[in-house]
Amino acid sequence: MSRLVAALVVGLAALVVVILLRQETMSVHTLGPPGSSTVVVVEASARFQRAASTTASLARAQIALCRTEVHDVTTDPEVIHELPATFAFRLHPALDEADRRQLHGCLEDARIDHLQMSVVRMVDDLGDVDVDGGVDDAEAAG
C-alpha cells in the first residue's frame, strides 16, 4: 500500500512539473493593437539566377512563404520599397515578440534555392520608414 501511495505522489509531482514547464516554455501570441504595423527591411542576393527568376521574384516568394508562418494569410504585406537588393514591407497589425523571432529566422533560413536573405531591421508602429537609414523626405524639407 505504501508503494502505491509513493507511486501516486511521484506521478502527481511529475505531472505538475510537466504542466509548469509547458507553461513556461510555450510561445504566447498576442495581436498588435488595431492600426499598428511592423515594418521589415531585408537584403537579398541570389546565386545562379535563371532568366525566369530574378532576385526580386525569389525574395517576394520567400517573404510570402514566411508571412504564412507568422501572420494572417488573408492580409497581404504592403510593399513599401523595392530596390535591386533591398525590400521593405509592412505587416498589419504589429507582430508580437514570438512572431518577430519566428519571421526573422524564417527569412534568414535558406528555403528557396540560391537565395540568401538577411533582415536589416524590424520596427513597429512607424508611418514612413526610410530603408536607406536616413531621414525621410518630409523631415528633410522641414
pLDDT for the residue 49: 64
Query: What's the predicted TM-score (pTM) here?
Result: 0.65
- Closest residue by Cα to residue 41 from 126, 111, 113: 126
Residue-wise pLDDT tens digits, 17-73: 888 777 676 666 677 777 788 889 999 888 776 655 688 888 888 988 888 888 765
pLDDT given at position 120: 94
Residue whose C-alpha cell is 509592412 = 90
| The predicted structure's pLDDT at residue 129 | 46
**Mean pLDDT, to the nearest integer, of 68-85?**
72
Determine the distance from the C-alpha atom of residue 8 to the mean position of all C-alpha atoms in its chain, rounded to a whole number: 44
Give 106-118 pLDDT, tens digit per residue: 999 867 888 899 9
Say if CB 62 and CB 117 are below 8 A apart. Answer: yes
What domains can be seen in the chain, in order of their start residue? 38-127 (3.30.70.3400)
Cα–Cα distance list, 104 to 34, 40, 49, 87 (Å): 22, 9, 24, 14
Closest CA to 89 of 28, 38, 124, 136: 38
